[in-house]
Structure 1
Amino acid sequence: MTTFQPLIATAASPRPQTTPNPARYPVAIIGAGALGLSFAARIARTLRVAVVARDRAAAARLCQGVRVGDSLFQPEAWAPEEAPQADWVIVLVKTGDTAAAARSAARMQPLGVLSLQNGLVEPVLQAHCPLPRVAQGITTTGAFRDASGVTPSGDGEVLVPPGFEELASMLARAGLDARVEDDIVPARLAKLLVNLAINPLAALFRVRNGELLEAPYRLWLDALVTEAWPVLCAEGLALDEAAAHARVRAVARATATNRASMLQDVLAGRPTELDAITGVLIELAARQGAAVPTHRAVHRLLSLVEAPAG
């Protein structure tokens, strides 16, 4: 198998504005945000990887290079309408862009499509990508983007459902902690629990993940876990309450320097994934007749932060 190393721009070897049409890629990533570029840079150490950006202009900018960690990474970037074929497609877009990403993935004629997004997006993905292998896995890795580039901020794990063994092996060869999880539903719910506790609080108080373990944020963090735990258990979460609190604290500690995705969105003036995360829990709680007042308060407050000034 031919390996691919990211190119480093020099005066003697400028990059073209567009990527030449290649043979089929082993892996493609739809989503050129912080996490998508962090994954792509890792995978590109061992395999050719295509990055599908939001549009042609964004793809052209990426081809000129972006700092990921301590290195300049020049992805083979594509606009959605020009995306090449690929064996495996990883979806890492915001939840509101899931349907469009699914349609792009289907046109790439892959063996399988795997979402590593927040929330519970598998039904939307499958509705718009009618292929045999379309599923949602999870990742607890972290990364954030600022004016200087992308900063990886926490090496978590990548769990994929059965049927994605080949992709898991590719990710493992790239140095990611990737493995197949036979029962992926409880794992998805455990990730949702983490996102429910960390993401909206980080955005609301504009702090990094690790600060949520300290006063006064810790009271909010614990309250969100306590309220969400019985609701998610009714849906299949396989953690007792003590383990649920321990999981959230462990992720906050492991990603202490990370700016949660909702915080990045708030700072950039973009819509957040509030409804796809906290909104989902509120809907589940209403269906079960459960009270989640702290989540409702956080949802209301963060909605006010998102709302444009009148």
Structure 2
Amino acid sequence: MPNTLPHWFLLGAGNMGTLAAWYLTRSGHGVTVIRHASPAPLEKTLWLPDGRQQALSLPVLDPAALPDHIDNLLVAVKTPYTRQAMAAVTDHLDAGSRVLRFQNGIGALDGLLPTGCQLIEAVTTSAVKGQHPDHTVVAENATWLGGSTTPPAWFVSLTEYWPDLHWEDDIRPRQWHKLVANAVINPLTALHDVPNGQISDNPILREQATQLCEEADQVLQQLDPAWPGHSLDNVLTVARATAGNTSSMRADRQRGAQTEIDAINGWLVKQADRLGLAVPANRKMVSALTLL
């Protein structure tokens, strides 16, 4: 019986891209990394939460060798590099293509996809750290995919291999909850070079977190009056649950990399500007981390 599961082309084989590729290949999906490199496979090592070591070998394809049409694209590149990465594949996408966006923040693919292209958004609470070729899966928590009215035919079988995977017809509330948590924990821990738990434990950081949450809730309630607000409680819960963790933005700053601030707090600022709302705390975070 022929394999009818999708074959994915992957942009961004970092921590989260590697995790997604691991789950997809376990379930029988094919994954090929798009990369300007030698054609040798990308050899990875994953360390799972239970201590098991898993090897992952992913074929590599130069952008110049891509097929005329890409059926399935997985975008897991860091958001600041999205436009540059997508430039290599845009001409290979059309209304029959499916794109799975596995990135932090919101809006990184705005204006970059052809009309009619199916976009599936992903929101995950899993955590991975490390640098190629070694990736340590800190936690396998819930992940949600969504963005269309019904899940693809292959989704049910994928849930057998992707822990705590769910489908949401309306994924926006999940995105917004994750966005607010990221808009507080990421920039504050990056600027002050502290682990996540300090957001709850340090009175000064907690006050800043309160201001960031209040502004975010104001924006989101203008976008959708059904937004419940009171985001601080959820943010502090996340900070305590990941107290010893280093946020991705803090890790980016520690190694001198560009952060994802524009797709997180920057997205909130753009919405606030459009709505005529003042969000000085979020604007301060964008300015501070853009200049670094």
TM-score by shorter chain over 0.5: yes
2: CA distance between counterparts of 1:89 and 1:147?
Answer: 21
Counterpart pick for 2:173 among 182, 186, 189:
186
In the alignment, structure 1 residue 274 sits paired with structure 2 residue 261:
yes
Q: 1:122 to 1:146 in 2, by over 3 A?
A: closer
- 1:154-233 to 2 correspondences below 5 Å: 154=139, 155-162=141-148, 163-216=150-203, 217-233=205-221
CA apart distance, 1:102: 7.2
Kept in 2, the 8 Å contact 1:112–1:133? The answer is yes
Kept in 1, the 8 Å contact 2:77–2:103? The answer is yes
Kept in 1, the 8 Å contact 2:16–2:76? The answer is yes
Q: Which residue of 1 aligns with 2:24?
A: 43
Moved more, 245-254 or 97-106: 97-106
2: CA distance between counterparts of 1:102 and 1:121?
Answer: 16
CA apart distance, 1:239: 3.6
Query: What is the SS of the residue equivalent to 1:29?
Result: strand
1: CA distance between counterparts of 2:239 and 2:35?
Answer: 30
Q: 1:41 to 1:147 in 2, by over 3 A?
A: closer
CA apart distance, 1:130: 4.5
Query: What is the SS of the residue equivalent to 1:196?
Result: helix
Q: Which residue of 2 aligns with 1:115?
A: 101
Identical-pair percentage: 29
CA apart distance, 1:25: 4.8
Kept in 1, the 8 Å contact 2:24–2:30? The answer is yes
Q: Which residue of 2 aligns with 1:246?
A: 233
Kept in 2, the 8 Å contact 1:186–1:236? The answer is no
Kept in 2, the 8 Å contact 1:55–1:80? The answer is yes
Kept in 1, the 8 Å contact 2:93–2:117? The answer is no
Q: Which residue of 2 aligns with 1:63?
A: 42
Q: 1:220 to 1:168 in 2, by over 3 A?
A: farther
Q: 2:81 is matched by which residue type in structure 1?
A: D
- 1:9-20 to 2 correspondences below 5 Å: none
Q: 1:94 is matched by which residue type in structure 2?
A: K
CA apart distance, 1:148: 7.6
Q: Which residue of 2 aligns with 1:93?
A: 77
Q: 1:97 to 1:142 in 2, by over 3 A?
A: same
Q: 1:207 is matched by which residue type in structure 2?
A: V
Q: 2:60 is matched by which residue type in structure 1?
A: W
2: CA distance between counterparts of 1:250 and 1:31?
Answer: 30
Q: 1:128 to 1:120 in 2, by over 3 A?
A: same
1: CA distance between counterparts of 2:214 and 2:43?
Answer: 47
Q: 1:115 to 1:237 in 2, by over 3 A?
A: farther
Kept in 1, the 8 Å contact 2:79–2:260? The answer is yes
2: CA distance between counterparts of 1:200 and 1:295?
Answer: 9
- Normalising to structure 1: TM-score of the pair? 0.76
Q: Deviations over 1:166-205 (max 9, x none)?
A: 3532441213322221222333222221221122112112
The two structures, once aligned, show a CA RMSD in angstroms of 3.2
Q: Deviations over 1:42-69 (max 9, x none)?
A: 3332324314254215x74x62333443
Q: Deviations over 1:254-283 (max 9, x none)?
A: 444443221221122111111222122122
CA apart distance, 1:142: 1.9
Kept in 2, the 8 Å contact 1:50–1:78? The answer is no
Q: Which residue of 2 aligns with 1:286?
A: 273
Moved more, 183-192 or 260-269: 183-192
Pick the structure with more helix per residue: 1
Q: 1:210 is matched by which residue type in structure 2?
A: G
Runs of 5+ in structure 1 lacking a partner?
4-22
CA apart distance, 1:152: 1.8
Q: 2:215 is matched by which residue type in structure 1?
A: E
Query: What is the SS of the residue equivalent to 1:127?
Result: coil
Q: Which residue of 2 aligns with 1:77?
A: 59
- Normalising to structure 2: TM-score of the pair? 0.80
Counterpart pick for 1:261 among 221, 234, 248:
248
